[in-house]
DNA sequence: GCCGTTTTCGGCCCGACTGTTTTCAGTCG
């Protein structure tokens, strides 16, 4: 049984327990155990001692071990006998939780959508204590909506939606400032909804304007402090708006950025000093509430250094923040972008336009890396065109004294493992990236042979988008990432953190391992247009999620040091 | 069920909103 299946089983157990009316902390414990597994980059086989993982204790470890060895779970089986499995799907209906479903089951023998429908039709729901006419109507409405909206949506999709909302918020006069919060601000790859914290003196007005200007499917809830809507887009994305004042803005942003776990830990810190954190600030023993200008000030109040949103996940970063600055990479560390395309291959802008945009961004340098000759669909460069391009890059460099454009290539690693240009061509380039763009479905052995061959070439400095995944679209090829990291370490090859919102590859969960192995990473946008340059920020956020320090990242090097790095021979 | 540089027992974040209620439970994040 693979990891994903095990996590699913743990969640299923949690859902059964919820309907059974078990202690909510017990329910949460099973969810947390699943989450802990998910956040651990190791495969099931690579995990020696389960209960060493935070969040997995004796009982959950036992369940997991049983699932691994037999594919079954005694705990789960017992629950399946007690409670009809068809009840689980009712949990996905908003407004129905474990307690209500349990009651419907015990008192009205509701077991699935059909019997729930029947109970509604017969008016039995509204007769039940704690239920009423409105609940019955609400349920009928939910049951009518056949199509389920996806529970979890990928970041590229959600970023687009968030950017649209941001434009609307920007145009509303009553809005002083705003920020996205929640999972998106923490740069999670998948999320359930969008959160915005909005500073205003007139929440009523802002809510009205939002309702007028956004395409709304449904207003889920609306009060003085918050509004929840579902957008009228194909996925009915759910969006929370929280209204803050100037005084509460920082606390509210912190609170709604989470993670939940991070908030719990902060509140625990506060509790030790007899203080209480809420989204409005810190309530002290004497009953007064302390408010903050910024999140930095908030952290400082508790003796902590600032923790960037993307690092707010667990306990480790909190401990580190007690001791000193976290020293994680930040946007201003990035001195250039080493992976981009021009109209010479499949980019939409000329080399000049790309270079100028990079320079305007404040970069010291950039590297042009069009596609190589075998990638015909992308108009890959023949040897001759590549030579022309190298000359072109030299010309462009003469235009600038404050910016350097390097000549590079994104070279295909061919299906048989050979490389798309011979070494004497590669030796003419400043920077060679190698990547896979074909035969994605090869088995792991062959994929690894290709990647290893590329790493062992003396001119290949970077493997781009190492797993080839596209978020929300495809999983990527069969890479043994652990092995790739080992090979990269041995050969002195860097691995990319492709910052494109569609890729984020390698993902944050692998990055720590890369850093620990002493392998360098390069955070690149792989831009095919000017707009895509802005994904660098997302790339840096992803690096922060992975705990990456500036020194690990090639393109934090100042120009001269980068030049030296390019000149260094690989140990292969 | 998990966890512990005070704790192996007793906590476990806390508030908004809704719908059901005359003061609160359930759900959600």
In a 3-state reduction of DSSP, which class is residue A349?
coil
Residues 6+ apart with CB under 8 A from A114: none
In the predicted structure, residue A539 carries a pLDDT above the cut 80:
yes
pLDDT, chain A, mean: 93
Which nucleotide does the CA of A221 lie closest to, via C1'? Answer: B17
CA dihedral A84, A85, A86, A91 (to 10 degrees): 110
Over the stretch A450-467, which tens digit does the pLDDT of each residue have? 999 999 999 999 999 999
How far in angstroms lies nucleotide B27's C1' from the CA of residue A322? 35
Residue A226 phi/psi, 5-degree rounding, is -155, 160
How far in angstroms lies nucleotide B4's C1' from the CA of residue A548? 30
Q: What is the pLDDT averaged over residues A465-478?
A: 93
Residue of least CA–C1' distance to B13: A264
How far in angstroms lies nucleotide B17's C1' from the CA of residue A224? 10
Over the stretch A393-439, which tens digit does the pLDDT of each residue have? 999 999 999 999 999 999 999 999 999 999 999 999 999 999 999 99
Which nucleotide does the CA of A258 lie closest to, via C1'? Answer: B29
Q: Which of A143-157, A309-323, A524-538 has the highest mean pLDDT?
A: A524-538
Give the span between the Cα atoms of A116 and A119, in whole angstroms. 5
Give the span between the Cα atoms of A37 and A354, in whole angstroms. 42
In a 3-state reduction of DSSP, which class is residue A132?
coil
Give the pTM.
Answer: 0.88
Q: What is the pLDDT averaged over residues A292-313?
A: 93
Residues 6+ apart with CB under 8 A from A307: A262, A299, A317, A318, A321, A326
Q: Is the peptide bond before A259 cis (omega within 30 degrees of 0)?
A: yes
pLDDT of residue A516: 95
How far in angstroms lies nucleotide B26's C1' from the CA of residue A160? 34
Give the span between the Cα atoms of A430 and A411, in whole angstroms. 13
Burial of residue A118 (number of CB atoms within 10 Å: 0-12, 13-18, 19+): middle
How far in angstroms lies nucleotide B10's C1' from the CA of residue A97? 26
Give the pLDDT band (50/70/90) at residue A287. Answer: confident
Structure tokens at A570: 């690989």
Residues 6+ apart with CB under 8 A from A60: A10, A29, A30, A33, A50
Place of tokens 């920007």: A170
In order of their start, the domains of chain A are: 3-144 (1.10.150.110), 153-246 (3.30.460.10), 250-323 (3.30.210.10), 331-567 (3.20.20.140)
Which nucleotide does the CA of A36 lie closest to, via C1'? Answer: B2
Q: What is the DSSP letter of A478?
A: -
Sign of CA dihedral A78, A84, A89, A94: negative
pLDDT of residue A148: 63
Which nucleotide does the CA of A127 lie closest to, via C1'? Answer: B20
How far in angstroms lies nucleotide B1's C1' from the CA of residue A35? 14
Q: Which residues pair with A198 in a beta bridge?
A: A178, A243
pLDDT of residue A146: 62
How does DSSP assign A247-274, residue by residue?
TTHHHHHHHHH--HHHHHHHHHHHHHTT
Strand A289-290 to A521-524 pairing: unpaired
Least confident interval from A212-221, A280-289, A324-333: A280-289
Which nucleotide does the CA of A183 lie closest to, via C1'? Answer: B29
How far in angstroms lies nucleotide B21's C1' from the CA of residue A129? 10
Give the span between the Cα atoms of A375 and A512, in whole angstroms. 32
Which nucleotides in chain B lie closer than 7 A to a protein CB? 1-3, 6, 11-21, 25-29
Residue of least CA–C1' distance to B21: A130
How far in angstroms lies nucleotide B24's C1' from the CA of residue A311? 38
Q: What is the DSSP letter of A382?
A: P
How far in angstroms lies nucleotide B9's C1' from the CA of residue A272? 18
Which nucleotide does the CA of A129 lie closest to, via C1'? Answer: B20
Best CA proximity match to A369, nearest among A396, A329, A409: A409
Residue of least CA–C1' distance to B20: A130
Give the pLDDT band (50/70/90) at residue A95. Answer: confident
């Amino acid at each position: 049984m693979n990891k994903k299946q095990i996590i699913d089983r743990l969640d299923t157990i949690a859902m059964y327990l919820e309907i059974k009316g078990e202690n909510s902390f017990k329910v949460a414990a099973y969810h947390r155990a699943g989450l802990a597994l998910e956040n651990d980059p190791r495969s099931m086989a690579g995990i020696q001692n389960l209960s060493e993982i935070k969040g997995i204790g004796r009982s959950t470890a036992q369940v997991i071990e049983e699932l691994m060895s037999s594919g079954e779970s005694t705990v789960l089986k017992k629950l399946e006998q007690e409670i009809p499995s068809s009840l689980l799907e009712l949990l996905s209906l908003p407004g129905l939780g474990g307690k209500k479903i349990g009651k419907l089951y015990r008192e009205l023998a509701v077991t699935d959508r059909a019997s729930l429908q029947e109970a509604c039709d017969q008016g039995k729901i509204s007769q039940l204590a704690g239920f009423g006419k409105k609940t019955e109507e609400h349920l009928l409405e939910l049951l009518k909506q056949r199509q389920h909206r996806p529970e979890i949506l990928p970041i590229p999709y959600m970023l687009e939606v968030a950017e649209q909302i941001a434009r609307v918020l920007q145009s509303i006069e009553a809005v002083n400032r705003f920020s996205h919060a929640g999972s998106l601000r923490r740069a999670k790859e998948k999320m359930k909804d969008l959160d915005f914290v909005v500073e205003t003196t007139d929440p009523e007005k802002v809510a009205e304007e939002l309702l007028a200007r956004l395409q709304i499917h449904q207003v889920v809830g609306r009060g003085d402090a918050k509004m929840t809507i579902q957008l009228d887009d194909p996925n009915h994305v759910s969006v929370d708006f929280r209204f803050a004042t100037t005084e509460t803005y920082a606390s509210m942003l912190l609170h709604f950025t989470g993670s939940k776990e991070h908030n719990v830990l902060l509140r625990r810190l506060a509790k030790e000093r007899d203080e209480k954190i809420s989204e409005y600030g810190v309530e002290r023993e004497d009953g007064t509430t302390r408010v903050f200008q910024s999140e930095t000030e908030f952290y400082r109040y508790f003796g902590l250094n600032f923790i960037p949103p993307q690092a707010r996940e667990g306990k480790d970063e909190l401990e580190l923040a007690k001791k000193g600055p976290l020293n994680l990479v930040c946007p201003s560390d990035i001195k250039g972008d080493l992976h981009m395309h021009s109209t010479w291959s499949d980019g939409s802008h000329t080399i000049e336009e790309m270079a100028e945009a990079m320079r305007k961004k404040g970069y010291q340098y950039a590297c042009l890396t069009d596609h190589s000759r075998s990638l015909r669909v992308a108009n890959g460069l023949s040897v001759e065109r590549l030579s022309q391009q190298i000359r072109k890059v030299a010309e462009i460099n003469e235009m600038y004294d404050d910016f350097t454009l390097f000549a590079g290539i994104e070279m295909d690693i061919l299906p048989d493992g050979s490389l798309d240009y011979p070494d004497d061509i590669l030796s003419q380039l400043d920077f060679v990236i190698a990547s896979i763009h074909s035969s994605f479905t090869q088995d792991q052995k062959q994929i690894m042979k290709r990647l290893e061959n590329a790493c062992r070439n003396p001119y290949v400095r970077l493997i781009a988008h190492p797993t080839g995944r596209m978020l929300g679209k495809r999983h990527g090829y069969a890479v043994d990432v652990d092995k790739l990291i080992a090979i990269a370490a041995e050969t002195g090859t860097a691995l990319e953190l492709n910052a494109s919102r569609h890729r984020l590859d390698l993902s944050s969960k692998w990055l720590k391992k890369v850093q620990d192995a002493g392998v360098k990473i390069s955070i690149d946008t792989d831009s095919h247009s000017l707009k895509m340059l802005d994904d660098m920020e997302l790339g840096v956020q992803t690096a922060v999620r992975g705990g990456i320090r500036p020194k690990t990242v090639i393109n934090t090097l100042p120009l001269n040091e980068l030049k030296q790095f390019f000149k260094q021979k690989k140990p292969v």
